[in-house]
Amino acid sequence: ISGVSAGAEKLWMGQTHVAPGVKSGDHHHGEAETAIYVVSGNPAFVFADGDKEVRLATKPGDYIFVPPYVPHREENPGESEAVVVIARSSQEGIVVNLDSLWPDQMP
């Protein structure tokens, strides 16, 4: 669901398939809010919380919320493909790549 496919103005929604063993780089999505629904598999979502890393292990049926500007990464540590549905409050594919979950520690 997007501006192009459905005329949405403030919402983008789509499905992502993540192969076993795949990790995204550390990043955030700017001002966009992101909601994730786990359809299948057991993806993990890793966030920076102060100076510690917080890992959220998931299962089918779980929901994850990623607030604006929050550094995170997605991982699929499982042995099977993970499928997630993503809804984002922006038509733009904002991805700000980071060298670290802790941007203030970047060189």
- Kindly tell me if the per-residue pLDDT of 106 is higher than 50: no
The pTM assigned to this predicted structure is 0.86
Q: Per-residue pLDDT tens for 34-90?
A: 999 999 999 999 998 877 889 999 999 999 999 999 899 999 998 999 999 999 998
- Kindly tell me if the per-residue pLDDT of 93 is higher than 80: no
CB neighbours (10 Å) of residue 102?
Answer: 15
Rounded alpha-carbon distances, angstroms, from residue 64 to 3, 6, 7, 56, 106: 24, 24, 25, 9, 26
